Structure 1
Amino acid sequence: MKNKLTTRPFLKLTKLSVAMICVTSTNSFAEQTINKELDEIVVVAQKRAQSIQDVPVTISAYDGDFLESLGIGELDTLSEITPGLVIQEQSPNNPGFVIRGITSDSGSSQSSPRVSIYYNGADVSRSRGSYFELFDVEGIEVVKGPQATLFGTAASVGAISVATRKPEKDISAQLKASVGNYSAKGVSGFVTGGNDLMQGRVAFIYRERDGFIKNIAGNSNSQNPAGFKQDDMHAIERFSYRPSLRITPSDDVTIDLVYTYEKNDDSGTSFKNGLYAPTGGDTSPYSFVEMPGSPYAESVFGKKDLGVERTVNDLNLTVNWDVSNDLTITSITAGRNFDSLEVFDADGTQAWFLEFAEAAEGDQFSQELRAVYTQNKFTSIFGVNYFEEEGSQRIPFSTEESIFLNCLGVLGSGVPCINNDGSVNILTPALTGGAISELPYSLEFTNYGENKAYSAFADVTYAATEALELTAGLRYIKEEKRSGYSSAAPNSVLTQAPLFTVDTNGETFYGDADYDDWLPRFNALYIINPTTNMYATVSKGRRSEVLEVSSANDEQGNVEASISEVPAEIIWNYETGIKGKALDGRLDYSVAVFYQDYSNFQVTLQDDEGVAFSADAGSATNVGAEAEVRALINNEFEIFANAAYLDAEIDDDSNNGNLAGNKFRLQPEWTFSTGLFYSTELSNSLNLTSSLIYSYRSEVFFEPANAPISGLDISQPGLGLVSARLGIASGDYWAVSVFASNLLDKEYLVDAGNTGGGFGNPTFVAGAPRFVGIELTLGFGGQ
């Protein structure tokens, strides 16, 4: 059996350390004879196994060995090595996926995602359920541009497809354990084995780490030393396990049953207020916070401490039947549910001001049946898909009335929200003549969403000549949507009206609508020579209409349903590229340029009361280019590099309103990364492996307005991060590695503005500091 720990070409190699670059002579590289070539990358983006070079779309693909060698165990770190991809993780309950500058992160049950997240062939794109730990992974494919024909309507700008490792007949096992700074600890592993008929596999991971932003709430130097002591921010505790079963009743039939359970218990996000400092501190996002939350958190939110508790269950049954050499039928049946509760201090101060929670629930079921038929010059894919989901997003809120109104500046008191010494002004005694010391206030609102989607798709590739392949695909989709809204918003004592939103008086308002559309794609692949292919594609993407239901007051002041519809966001993508190999298979590359035209570009904004809503920002344009290259320098040394350029904005047209001319949120103009990999034999039984990875992103805006909030800049300047790894391995038996991420300990933001920004109090979320650790891997069995 090939040495899995030490003899990996690119996508199967570990990383190159700075130390190894210094001690390795470039002259010795030149003197060596290269006796190997890069492994062929095989992808299934077109629902069949193909060399990545033969697929006429832009794809970045990584196998599981490569991800493990880099220590990539979270989705957001994937964007460090993928051109045109940005993944933002405030928490596992609130990820944002950005492909080619277009963001998909809405948690509302009434809106649809833009990026398809596929897990073992099934759509799991709903934001609050789309995050998962990356462990025991077979491979990941990131497909850029609209992929609705093969991945469904959620893939309006692209798709991320993750496949887990399947059971094997030979008995083998692996155990990994790691420790690091911030009291980090982790353990993961798998065991697999079976016979000709049935094979099983069980994999698991557990990770925990202390928070890296100190929270002084409840400490002796805080405003309330006797108060509840919150944990430090950004601490994690995550556990997941995955039993899987493979049944092979014949050589032609394979049945895979995979169950995944995941539990997250993180301490919460450091939404640091940019206007008011904690006691004895400053407004820097990277220093300590004082975030006590609501004193009524347990009764109002159902959770006393800040942070997220989230549980995900996923069950997948995939059946592949090779009916003949020409025909394969595949059935994928999948169900997924998630239940999360996140409590957060949206103002990021010691004031009992903007205390929120989000309780999100969702259930999904999908069934896909497809056939791939190949004969002579034709390859055809036909299929049908049924998808349904039902979810809700409940938002409870807690505040003290006078603090809320004073911090918003509506009382005209002339008294600051928070004094220079950090103390909070409670004006209730003065406003009530001393009769009342404080006025707790709470409300909640909930949005509901039910969606059923029926679709049929066909994709045909025709080999017109030995050098030219033409592809045409089409998906028809019909959606049945139902959106709902309810709120419980009592009148404030001080204002005699709800502090925000409109009380529905115990009623839930609903709206229903049906939509349908045709989503085509056209591709051409031209084989210039045996090592070089050129391709062109035209494809249509669609983000579904938003059927938004909320509450409002009519002219007489009576509550009524407010139902609005944001039109479907339509994208036309025009793209061409070239993929090739050189130097006898020791170098491969791909280059793509694209133009994207958007109509009815959907954005999420906040009204004057801080409540999020969907809006149509009009037309938008996205022009860009992406390039990837990897090369073997010699038998031990390998490099890769990739880059992406984006010129994307809402069109500077007066019809597009206040956002005209603005860049998309979370969209860097440039992204770039490069990696150096080195592996060498130290003795007959020991190998040294090492790596160095550098990634860069240019400036990004965190809000669609691209403008300061309350005079504070809401952006992140250009940023470069470095990670490194150095290890020693002994065959399949053991390996020891030391690793570091953000090696230079750069300070940077992952988000700004946020919910607090909607109330004039922008908050800032710090990125992770330098993490260092050591990892031990033990292997058992195998051949």
Structure 2
Amino acid sequence: MNITLPPVFTLSKLSFLITAFIGSQVYAQTQSSTHQIEEITVTAQKRDQSIQDVPVSISAYDGAFLESLGVAELDMLSDITPGLVIQEQSPNNPGFVIRGITSDSGSSQAAPRVSIYYNGADVSRSRGSYFELFDIERIEVVKGPQATLFGTAASVGALSVITRKPQEEFGAEIKTSIGNYSAETLSGFVTGGNSQVQGRFAFSYRQRDGFIRNIAGEADSQNPDGYDQEDMHGIERTAFRPSLRFTPSEDLTIDLVYTYEKNDDSGTSFKNGLYAPTGGDTSPFSFVEMSGSPVSQSVLGNDGLGVERTVEDINLTLNWDINSQLTFTSITAGRQFDSLEVFDADGTQAWFLEFAEDAQGDQFSQELRIVHQGDKLTTIAGVSYFTEDGSQAVPFSTEESIFLNCLGVFAAFAQPCIASDGSVPILTPVLTEGAAQVLPYSLEFENYGETDAYSAFADVTYAISNALELTAGLRYVREDKTSGYRSDAPASVLTGSELFTVDTDGQIFRAEEDYDDWLPRFNMLYILNEDINMYATISKGRRSDVLNVTSVRGEDGLGERSVTEVPAEIIWNYETGVKGQALDKSVNYNLSVFYQDYSNFQVTLLDDDGVAFAADAGSATNVGAEAEVRALLGVDFEVFANLAYLDATIDDDSTNGNLAGNRFRLQPEWTGSLGMFYATQLAEGYNFTSSLVYSYRSDVFFEPANAPISGLDISEDAVSLVSARIGIAGEEESWAVSLFANNLLDKEYLVDAGNTGGGFGNPTFVAGPPRFYGVEFKMHFGE
């Protein structure tokens, strides 16, 4: 294994960091013993534990830490968490990457790899897993397979978000901000109650104009009389969360939480890398001319490009302390999402690849578990049920001659897809001898997925001595799956057959199958002394089998059912690490190294028609290391740093086909960040506050092929970003005013490339956010 330090970590810079860290330890050693990092309690093992006592790699942040950095979106966690990358094209299409393994498939027939937990319930389907971060108690990022306690979706890790619960004392907060791109936010909460019933209401509203101009519909565009599209990447997101806590006795707590979120965003800028907008260029960071479909409302469901998405979630959690050693927990949860995203997949002014995705899903889960904690033996046992019914419909709109010409079918006419002046040649009048000026064409295909998963699990930890604990756990899971597919694809006038996909003649093709597996884990925790713990773990992860149903052309020329099964992706994770604290708890740190062995590694590819499908890429290997450190340099100054290295590839074996030797999609070799907080009293009643975060990510490939498309590179070089906050606060932060900036240096970078257009030979590129800045005001009332 060759380990090459990234350019950001040259010898001189590394020496500086080492010197700074050593200096911080010396400085911290001179401080009062009262300056200690607050201990974080986590529930990654289904019980309250200090993060240092959990024998797995875990990063955890409380709400105060997140607020001090201005973390309001899931993808911002990437900047502070080693081994985590969250890509957000839109709230409808997030990608979660833990240790180089991506989970972002929107197909109802495919399973996620990363468990997203919301108040203890699995919400992992990608189209429903994005949510706003407001009024958060804690976030835990657990790395490595966690299937024994979190379920099969946690085949490579889990991200768990816990919201703040009601309290008896009155408290309230209001926070608002304004910024560039006409950004406005408003959020807050109010809570209070009595000894038996407490309530809380939290809310969030954010809106911002798009940062990529879209000239479609303007006077200088090719369609000045067409629909005036909004600028891309604009957002309008509304969310609220009422919750109740019932405490009829000191042994029983019942939490009822309802969450509603509504997204109305202007959509993603898929900039074509081959053809420029009128008067523009192909840079992903300049304006676009994404005009969409002239019949968008009737075919795609909306006149304009963008995302309309609604998510509702309800959660009922009961915790009963039966006695001092035995606790019973019940978590009942339901989640529903409905999203429509209309997008211009070719990213040009041509009526070429105009798509929508109408995704819907209903989830219900029930978990029952008991935890017994004795002097030496801790036992966790439970059962769970998860059911999901989802669909993903994909309507498509084009003009026949434009579609075929842009694919190169009419090369003999020597007409470009888009001319140098930005105009779009339409060959229909010539091809039909004047019988038609345009030939609108539309089709729609849809996949369905129904899953019922039944699990039983047990996990036992035994303290052999005061220094050594051993854990063994096992989950049995059974999945009943039904997959479906339909395609409404009429014959093209010019070709006499469907432009792509095969029509199912009004039928829904279905297939059913059952799967089961045993998922173990084995952990060892060795307490070297009161400050240092060492651990080792072996665990098995499993991404569920894909029951893929589609249509193919039969011998009679008609569509017939095609069923393929992609076997379950199996991961064995071998890991060891050390967690510790030093200098009277003013410094804490953790370090881990791991080796992951994959069989039947699942990838998402595009067929010749640009339609995504799951495939088995064979065996794969992932080797890496992660490190985190956090230190108090006195009462006013705190620093943190993390670094992760990954060497993750599909094994270079001839049996693994064309992808052999390739790196995983969205997998950076290096990720790291440095951050600091500084706060001090300016005068009586006034405090100065500040934070600064630097993050680094090395180069990534955006497609499993690791290869150019139509001669264009589908990758991104290393990216470094800086964010900062500075402000003034009152005593005990009863009020605060802050200036903030994300991407402070206005770095241009990509968040994705290739995309649906790449499947048709027209790769598109998605720009990352530019510098966002503004001012924020917060007022707190009560406790």
Match of residue 499 from structure 1: 499
Residues 461 and 471, structure 1, Cα contact 8 Å, conserved in 2 = yes
Can you list the C-alpha shifts for 1:264-293, whole angstroms capped at 9, x where unaligned?
000010000000000000000000000010
In structure 2, do the counterparts of structure 1 residues 575 and 32 end up closer, same or farther at CA, with 3 Å as the change threshold?
closer
After TM superposition, list the pairs within 5 Å mapping 1:441-480 onto structure 2.
Answer: 441-480=441-480
Segments of structure 2 that go 5 or more residues without pairing to the other structure are 1-19
Can you list the C-alpha shifts for 1:416-474, whole angstroms capped at 9, x where unaligned?
00000000000000101111100000000000000000000000000011110000000
Aligned-pair CA distance for 1:781:
1.6
Match of residue 640 from structure 2: 640
Residues 28 and 586, structure 2, Cα contact 8 Å, conserved in 1 = no
In structure 2, do the counterparts of structure 1 residues 198 and 234 end up closer, same or farther at CA, with 3 Å as the change threshold?
same
Match of residue 529 from structure 1: 529
Residues 68 and 691, structure 2, Cα contact 8 Å, conserved in 1 = no
Can you list the C-alpha shifts for 1:160-215, whole angstroms capped at 9, x where unaligned?
00000000000110000100000000000000000001000000000000000000
Cα distance in 1 between the residues matched to 2:601 and 2:403: 34
Aligned-pair CA distance for 1:33:
4.8
Match of residue 755 from structure 1: 756
Residues 28 and 583, structure 2, Cα contact 8 Å, conserved in 1 = no
Which moved further from structure 2: 36-45 or 473-482?
36-45
Which moved further from structure 2: 373-382 or 105-114?
373-382
Residues 120 and 162, structure 1, Cα contact 8 Å, conserved in 2 = yes
Aligned partner letter, 1:735 = A
Residues 607 and 759, structure 2, Cα contact 8 Å, conserved in 1 = yes
Aligned-pair CA distance for 1:687:
0.7
Aligned-pair CA distance for 1:559:
1.6
Using structure 2 for the length normalisation, give the TM-score. Answer: 0.96
After TM superposition, list the pairs within 5 Å mapping 1:484-633 onto structure 2.
Answer: 484-633=484-633
Match of residue 156 from structure 1: 155
Can you list the C-alpha shifts for 1:735-764, whole angstroms capped at 9, x where unaligned?
000000000000000000000000000000
Cα distance in 1 between the residues matched to 2:26 and 2:256: 52
Cα distance in 1 between the residues matched to 2:248 and 2:27: 53
- Say if 2:266 is the partner of 1:289: no
Aligned partner letter, 2:451 = N
- Say if 2:663 is the partner of 1:663: yes
Can you list the C-alpha shifts for 1:133-179, whole angstroms capped at 9, x where unaligned?
00000000000000000000000000000000000000110000100
Segments of structure 1 that go 5 or more residues without pairing to the other structure are 1-20
SS at match of 1:682: strand
- Say if 2:94 is the partner of 1:92: no
Aligned partner letter, 2:768 = G
- Say if 2:729 is the partner of 1:739: no
Aligned partner letter, 1:93 = N
After TM superposition, list the pairs within 5 Å mapping 1:148-187 onto structure 2.
Answer: 148-187=147-186
Cα distance in 2 between the residues matched to 1:576 and 1:424: 59
Aligned partner letter, 1:252 = D
- Say if 2:778 is the partner of 1:764: no
Residues 551 and 562, structure 2, Cα contact 8 Å, conserved in 1 = yes
Cα distance in 1 between the residues matched to 2:679 and 2:519: 47
Match of residue 76 from structure 1: 75
SS at match of 2:211: coil
Residues 142 and 159, structure 2, Cα contact 8 Å, conserved in 1 = yes
Aligned partner letter, 2:473 = G
Match of residue 102 from structure 1: 101
Cα distance in 1 between the residues matched to 2:715 and 2:220: 32
Aligned partner letter, 2:416 = P
Can you list the C-alpha shifts for 1:212-262, whole angstroms capped at 9, x where unaligned?
000000001101111110000000000000000000000000000000000
Cα distance in 1 between the residues matched to 2:289 and 2:640: 43
Aligned partner letter, 2:724 = A
Cα distance in 1 between the residues matched to 2:644 and 2:397: 44
Higher relative contact order (CA 8 A, sep 6+): 1
Cα distance in 2 between the residues matched to 1:40 and 1:494: 69
Residues 34 and 634, structure 1, Cα contact 8 Å, conserved in 2 = no
Can you list the C-alpha shifts for 1:616-667, whole angstroms capped at 9, x where unaligned?
0000000000000011111111110000000000000000000000000000
SS at match of 1:160: strand
Aligned partner letter, 1:753 = G
Match of residue 16 from structure 2: none
Aligned-pair CA distance for 1:30:
9.4
Cα distance in 2 between the residues matched to 1:347 and 1:558: 29
Cα distance in 2 between the residues matched to 1:713 and 1:369: 50
Match of residue 240 from structure 1: 239
| Residue-pair matches, total | 759
SS at match of 1:529: coil
Aligned-pair CA distance for 1:28:
10
Aligned partner letter, 1:741 = N
Residues 122 and 334, structure 1, Cα contact 8 Å, conserved in 2 = yes
Aligned partner letter, 1:376 = D
SS at match of 2:507: coil
Residues 165 and 200, structure 2, Cα contact 8 Å, conserved in 1 = yes
Cα distance in 2 between the residues matched to 1:373 and 1:101: 36
Can you list the C-alpha shifts for 1:516-565, whole angstroms capped at 9, x where unaligned?
00000000000111100000000000000000000011122122101000
Residues 34 and 635, structure 1, Cα contact 8 Å, conserved in 2 = no
Aligned partner letter, 1:82 = T
Cα distance in 2 between the residues matched to 1:52 and 1:486: 48
- Say if 2:687 is the partner of 1:687: yes
Can you list the C-alpha shifts for 1:556-608, whole angstroms capped at 9, x where unaligned?
21221010000000000000000001111110100000000000000000011
Aligned partner letter, 1:500 = F
Cα distance in 1 between the residues matched to 2:402 and 2:457: 56
- Say if 2:457 is the partner of 1:439: no
Aligned partner letter, 1:167 = P
Aligned partner letter, 1:493 = V
Aligned-pair CA distance for 1:733:
2.2
Match of residue 8 from structure 2: none
Match of residue 696 from structure 2: 696
Match of residue 774 from structure 2: 773
Cα distance in 2 between the residues matched to 1:440 and 1:225: 20
Which moved further from structure 2: 409-418 or 272-281?
409-418
Match of residue 128 from structure 1: 127
Match of residue 42 from structure 1: 41
Aligned-pair CA distance for 1:301:
1.2
Cα distance in 2 between the residues matched to 1:302 and 1:676: 47
Cα distance in 1 between the residues matched to 2:748 and 2:181: 17
SS at match of 2:613: strand
Cα distance in 2 between the residues matched to 1:445 and 1:27: 64
Using structure 1 for the length normalisation, give the TM-score. Answer: 0.96
SS at match of 1:76: helix
Cα distance in 1 between the residues matched to 2:464 and 2:25: 47
Large movers: runs of 4+ above 2 Å: 25-35
Aligned-pair CA distance for 1:34:
6.1
Cα distance in 2 between the residues matched to 1:551 and 1:675: 52
- Say if 2:707 is the partner of 1:707: yes
Aligned partner letter, 1:526 = Y
Cα distance in 2 between the residues matched to 1:573 and 1:734: 47
Match of residue 366 from structure 2: 367
Q: How high is the sequence identity, in percent, across the aligned residues? A: 73
SS at match of 2:79: coil
Cα distance in 2 between the residues matched to 1:384 and 1:569: 23
Aligned-pair CA distance for 1:113:
0.2
Match of residue 62 from structure 2: 63
Residues 25 and 583, structure 2, Cα contact 8 Å, conserved in 1 = no
SS at match of 2:683: coil
Cα distance in 1 between the residues matched to 2:338 and 2:515: 28
Residues 200 and 244, structure 2, Cα contact 8 Å, conserved in 1 = yes
Cα distance in 2 between the residues matched to 1:542 and 1:772: 42
Cα distance in 2 between the residues matched to 1:32 and 1:147: 39
Match of residue 299 from structure 2: 300
SS at match of 1:79: helix
Aligned partner letter, 1:751 = D
Can you list the C-alpha shifts for 1:693-722, whole angstroms capped at 9, x where unaligned?
000000000000000000000001001000
Cα distance in 2 between the residues matched to 1:764 and 1:602: 24
After TM superposition, list the pairs within 5 Å mapping 1:285-434 onto structure 2.
Answer: 285-412=284-411, 413-434=413-434
Cα distance in 1 between the residues matched to 2:620 and 2:342: 35
